[in-house]
Structure 1
């Protein structure tokens, strides 16, 4: 990514790893919430989300969990909401890995996006 370095020169490798994971998590949230889903399409939706986010720069791994336990209705599907998502994105820039997490926090009543861990290799 040599030609991109000039655009990120004010960031450390650690900050860049966090940036790449966080920007991808934000894109995931805003791109996929509202998507119609049911038990029959659950696995294919998880795969589509994981595969598309892995295409983003510096993304090493994506794990998506979707909880549809309380999401049944008479129409046979629901719209994906943030409270249904449990996602981990691993981004890597040079020798730094950042684990970015989105998880619904009951006491906050909010799908929080946060930095779960940072490792230097």
Structure 2
């Protein structure tokens, strides 16, 4: 088993990957986007090790089909998640980068011993 810091990074990656694959393809419109953002946040925050999550969906990419909705795509996501295992945390993002929904670690560290008390 790895360190708490390694586990926090792993958990962030797993959570973002699951979020992406679970929600891509969901019918969405500009009207329903805020409720979908909230639903994703409420679902992901329930999972172990998740401390914070913010989901924003790019409404400019919601062009709609002839029936009035779009399908949620990876390029619509702007997500930031914080995971914590023990005294270690990881901040990770899912956001568009050069036309690709890129997942990346923004920061990971351990809470200094001095701050634990």
- TM more than 0.5: yes
Q: Matches of 2:33 and 2:79 in 1, distance apart?
A: 14
Residue by residue over 1:15-72, the C-alpha shift from the partner in whole angstroms, topping out at 9 and shown as x without a partner, is 0001111111111000000000111111110000001011111000110010021322
Residue number in structure 2 paired with 1:4 = none
For 2:60, what is the secondary structure of its paired residue? Answer: coil
TM-score (norm 1): 0.86
* Aligned alpha-carbon RMSD (Å): 1.0
Q: Matches of 1:115 and 1:98 in 2, distance apart?
A: 7
Which 4+ residue blocks in structure 1 deviate beyond 2 angstroms? none
Residue number in structure 2 paired with 1:7 = none
* Structure 1: stretches of 5+ with no match in the other structure: 1-9
TM-score (norm 2): 0.89
Q: Matches of 1:81 and 1:16 in 2, distance apart?
A: 28
* Structure 2: stretches of 5+ with no match in the other structure: 112-117
